[in-house]
Structures are given as structure tokens and as C-alpha cells.
Structure 1
Amino acid sequence: MKKRHVLLSFTLALGLALAPFLSNSSTSAAASKLPSNALISNKGTVITPEKVKRFAATSKKKNAATAYRGNGKLKNAKETVVKKVQPVRFGSYDIGIRSVIGTDDRTRVTNTTTYPYSAIAHIESSIGGCTGWMIGPRTLVTAGHCVYDPDTKQWATDVTVTPGRNGTSKPYGSAKDIEIFVSAGWGQNGDIGHDYAVIILDQEIGYATGWFGYRWTSSSLTGVAENISGYPGDKTYGTQWQHADKIRKTETYRLYYANDTYGGQSGSPVYQKYEASCDGPCAIAIHTYGAGGTSYNSGTRITEEVFDTLNYLKDY
């Protein structure tokens, strides 16, 4: 059932706390802050943790959300032509620039209409280029730094999402954003443990592209085989590249791996190619930061909190 877009009533304190997140606002943050796991949007919407918890209590999805292959059919596909953008850069983090570990073992995805590659999208915006992945008919997951800069308090604008892109080929056309959500932890503090975002699209493009399953567990994920596929800025523009590895280190809010990536792949799914609980490809993290050299790259782990949030927005 689709939830109606309800803008919560603003108390004075909430209004002050929200001010920095309103579209392109540069207002200083008030002393009163939102909880780190609250959600805020570029339209001024606030979703409280309590509301997400109430929804989770009624949901049948407790640990895993089911993948969907898609029907490959999209009527009246729209296409937006945009100028080429550079990969997103953020603050002191060298996002993706040093993300190739040793030799570059990435391989190009030549048939991007094959699931699940069809459900992986190239994102272009005023901030730069990134990657995202579908989790529902019109819901896309990406990195928080792909859509909001907590240093400048600026939201991405002119966001164009092109799933299954293969260079100049756009088999499913392009979609635009109608609302973008980040966690207050990312928006207020730039907390990398909360570096994720959800984009609500203007088309139900996911029925054609399919979407990923996703899951959470409190257990260690070290040793779990995974794959990362996305749109790097060092390859032919708009082409999708992947590399398989395994989780090398597990932390509460982050997972570490030796997959080769590059700037532009921020927001890519870190996923198991098949997981029974998802009945298909199953994301366990969102790729966010590159270290390169002999270090590990890392992503925002899908915790129970993130899982419940994605479920809440899956059919928003």
C-alpha cells in the first residue's frame, strides 16, 4: 500500500532543526537537533524514527526484502539529455580516486538489460556522477554524499537517473527525482555510518528494470562473497563495470572489501549474487568510500535501522 506524503506539523524547535535541510538552505543548524536515524528530505519532510519503527512492527519483512526480476517492458520511456558530469567529490574524503586496489580487475557489463544490472542506475546531478540501485517501483538507493553535502548544506539538483545505461544507450530511458531523503545523522554531522540516501522517482521504472533484495543481520559478514557494479568516472562515460570479492572486515555500521572501484561508483550496491532469504540478488551495503593501494574500500552496512528505513520508503 502506498503511503501518502504527509508533512509533519512543525513545532518551533523542529522547524529550527530542519532549517539547514530545506532545499539549498545555508541556515546554521540550531542547537536542537533531530535524532541521527530520523529522515529528512529536500522537500522539508521529516520522518521520525518512531514512525519507521511502528511501520516495521507491522511489516512481514523482518530480516530480508525480496528481489524482483522485472518484466523488461517500459511504455513511453522518457529520456533526459544532460551534460557529462564528473564523479562526486566530498570534503576530505578521497572518494573513489584511490579505489583501485593493486591491479584493476574490474570488467565491463556488456549487456546491461540483464538482471540485476538493469536495476543499477547512473545518477547525474548538480553535485556530480554517482550510482544507485532500485529497491521498488520508483525507489532508488544511493550514497548520502551523492545527494547532500553536509558541509555546504546543499542538496543535489537536476537529478537524472538512468537505469541499465550502457554508454549512449538508455534502454529504460531516464527518470527524475520528486523527493530525496537522507538520514539526519548524515545531514547534520556528515556521519559516515549514516551515509546513505533514498531517491523517489517520477516514474515506476522498477517494474521494467527489476529491483534488488536486501537484508540485515547482527552476525559478522566477514567472508561473505559479494559483487559491486556501478558507473565509474575513469571508464567510457555511462558504462557499467563490476568486480567480485568478499567481505574482509565487519564493523557495526560499515563493511570493508577489496573490490576495485572508482569515483562515480559511490552508491553502488554491495550485493550477494544470490541469497535465499531475498530469493535473488541481495544487497548488504551501499558502497561509499575508496581507500585504494593496499587498504580496503568500504560501504555503509545495511543495519536493522537502515533495513527498516528502506522498507518504509520502498513503496513511498
Structure 2
Amino acid sequence: MAEVLAPEREKELVFHRMNDEKQTIDEKEITLQSWIERDEDLTNESVCGIDQRQKVLATLQMPYMAICKLYMKALNGLNYVGSGWLVAGDRLYTAGHCVYNKGTGGWKTSIIVIPGKCGYSEPYGRYEAIELMATRGWIDDTSPRYDMGAIKLNKPVSHNSFITPVLEDPNIAEICGYPADRDNGIFQYKMSDTLVKENGRFLYQADTFGGQSGSPLLRNRCIGVGIHNYGGCPNKSSDLYQEFIDGVAQW
């Protein structure tokens, strides 16, 4: 399907409307750790020493009610998992490779989004992606710095609490998402660490794992300053930038 480009944002962002006939997703299969995209160092073992992640059960509270579990189907027919974070009623940020990955066929063909998923509980229901967005730096150049994307939902979520994206360089931040190596990926885990900024990316030793791509890098709980997308110890998030924030807000 042809890409839908907004002329004033064409230099920075690429928009894609999904086919109405989306592929079905087998959730029983994708609770397995094997359903993680393994291009380059996307999912290097990323527990840096002793695992210090904390399990989150309070998904009726912020910011955890705005953090989402993603179930995804790629053009190659395989299922994958990821994380995302709501910035508006019908829009969320995630990693670029969660919406577009050349290695698995390009744009994802189906994405189910579950805000605040806590085990088998889905307190706010589930939603389907109808449009996707990724940065041109990721689409054209596969640049790790620009491995950033967004999802538009078929309807607004059933709560009105969102994470606010800002341009900041904090010294300490928290990562929270759905790592596939813990509890079959159906609970959120969080961890804080100090940050180092390098070439538009935040580096940290906070433990993460595949399935957490797209998680927010949080300052002061409800402020998002980056999008987690790589492991490798140090693990890494892409810094937000104004054109990306504006593009999602005006979508």
C-alpha cells in the first residue's frame, strides 16, 4: 500500500495507512521469547550484571496505565512483541523497528495495543493500529539514532492519562515496558539508572530485554524524554526531537 505523506513533514517522517484486512495474531504463540526481532543488536542480552528490574502491578496508576503491550504481525508472516507509550487518546510512541523493519518485510501488517496490561488483566481493553509512522532517518538509512515510530489507534483509549513528551537531558531516568524474558512478557518491569548522552542517544545500564523496544525513558514518572530501542550494555534510547513530537501531535 502506498505511503501517505504530509508535505510539510515529508523530510522527517513517513506515514503509512494499514490495510483494512489485517493479518490475525496468535497471542499464545507470541508469549514465547522467540518472537523477538533479532536484527543487528536490537535484542542483545541486555541484563547488565545482577538483574535489578522491579515488577509493576500498579497499572491503574500513572505512568504505568499509559504504557502499552504491543502484539505485532510482520509481512513475513511471523509474530513479534514490543512496548509503547500513549501521548494522546489515539496515539502512542514506540521504536521505529516495531512499526517498520526491512528485515521482516517493511511495515507491520497488524498491531494490537493493550494499555496497562497486567498479567491476563486488560483493564482498559485492547485497540488496533490503523496508521503507522516512522522517521525518514530510520526508513531510508536504518539509523539507530532515528529508530523511532508512532501508532494511531482505531479509537481513543478508555482513560485520559498520558505521558508527556519533552526535550530534556536528565541525569537519571526510568525505563518501563514489557520484557519478554520475564513472566512471558505479560507484566511491566521497571528500573532506573543514570544517563549518558551521546550522538542523540541516551545510554544507561538499566536492565532491559527484547520486547521492551518502544518503552518510554521517563523523568519524574510521567515525562517521556526518549524511546528505548537497543540493548548491548549500555542499553540505549533515542532522544526525542521537535519535528517528531510535532508530527505525532498534528497527525
Alpha-carbon distance change, 9 to 229 in structure 1, aligned in 2, over 3 angstroms: closer
- Given that residues 150 and 188 in structure 1 are in contact (C-alpha distance below 8 angstroms), is that contact kept between their aligned partners in structure 2? no
State the Cα distance separating 1:165 from its structure 2 match. Answer: 0.4
The amino acid across from 2:86 in the alignment is M
Out of 119, 131, 135, the residue aligned to residue 167 of structure 1 is 119
The amino acid across from 1:167 in the alignment is G
In structure 1, C-alpha distance between the alignment counterparts of 2:236 and 2:28, rounded to whole Å: 29
State the Cα distance separating 1:150 from its structure 2 match. Answer: 2.4
In structure 2, C-alpha distance between the alignment counterparts of 1:234 and 1:158, rounded to whole Å: 23
Asked if 1:137 is matched to 2:89, the reply is yes
- Given that residues 123 and 131 in structure 1 are in contact (C-alpha distance below 8 angstroms), is that contact kept between their aligned partners in structure 2? yes
In structure 1, C-alpha distance between the alignment counterparts of 2:15 and 2:155, rounded to whole Å: 22
- Provide TM-score, normalisation by structure 1: 0.68
Asked if 1:269 is matched to 2:216, the reply is yes
State the Cα distance separating 1:40 from its structure 2 match. Answer: 2.8
Paired residue for 1:286?
A: 227
- Provide TM-score, normalisation by structure 2: 0.84
Matches of residues 182-197 of structure 1 in structure 2 within 5 Å?
A: 182-197=134-149
Paired residue secondary structure (1:111): coil
Paired residue for 2:77?
A: none
In structure 1, C-alpha distance between the alignment counterparts of 2:198 and 2:246, rounded to whole Å: 19
In structure 1, C-alpha distance between the alignment counterparts of 2:209 and 2:56, rounded to whole Å: 15
Alpha-carbon distance change, 194 to 92 in structure 1, aligned in 2, over 3 angstroms: same
Q: Number of paired residues?
A: 232
- Given that residues 124 and 159 in structure 2 are in contact (C-alpha distance below 8 angstroms), is that contact kept between their aligned partners in structure 1? yes
* Structure 2 portions without partners, runs of 5+: 20-24, 75-79
Paired residue for 1:253?
A: 200
Paired residue secondary structure (1:188): helix
Paired residue for 2:14?
A: 39
Asked if 1:123 is matched to 2:67, the reply is no
Paired residue for 2:163?
A: 212
- Could you list the runs of 4 or more consecutive aligned residues of structure 1 that deviate by over 4 angstroms after TM superposition? 7-10
Alpha-carbon distance change, 182 to 8 in structure 1, aligned in 2, over 3 angstroms: closer
Asked if 1:310 is matched to 2:248, the reply is yes
Alpha-carbon distance change, 258 to 198 in structure 1, aligned in 2, over 3 angstroms: same
Paired residue for 1:177?
A: 129
Alpha-carbon distance change, 110 to 188 in structure 1, aligned in 2, over 3 angstroms: same
The amino acid across from 2:245 in the alignment is F
Among all aligned residue pairs of Structure 1 and Structure 2, give the percentage whose two residues are the same amino acid. 29
- Given that residues 255 and 299 in structure 1 are in contact (C-alpha distance below 8 angstroms), is that contact kept between their aligned partners in structure 2? yes
In structure 2, C-alpha distance between the alignment counterparts of 1:231 and 1:99, rounded to whole Å: 14
The amino acid across from 1:197 in the alignment is G
State the Cα distance separating 1:289 from its structure 2 match. Answer: 0.2
Cα deviation, 1:80-135, whole Å, max 9, x if unaligned, reads: 98334144314222x23411111100010012111110000000011400000000
* Structure 1 portions without partners, runs of 5+: 1-6, 11-33, 45-79, 275-280
Alpha-carbon distance change, 8 to 196 in structure 1, aligned in 2, over 3 angstroms: closer
Cα deviation, 1:141-168, whole Å, max 9, x if unaligned, reads: 1001112112454221221000100111
| Structure whose alpha-carbon radius of gyration is higher | 1
Asked if 1:149 is matched to 2:95, the reply is no
Paired residue for 1:61?
A: none
State the Cα distance separating 1:190 from its structure 2 match. Answer: 1.1
Cα deviation, 1:213-271, whole Å, max 9, x if unaligned, reads: 11114xxx2x6221111001001131111001121x21242111111101100000001
In structure 2, C-alpha distance between the alignment counterparts of 1:267 and 1:107, rounded to whole Å: 18
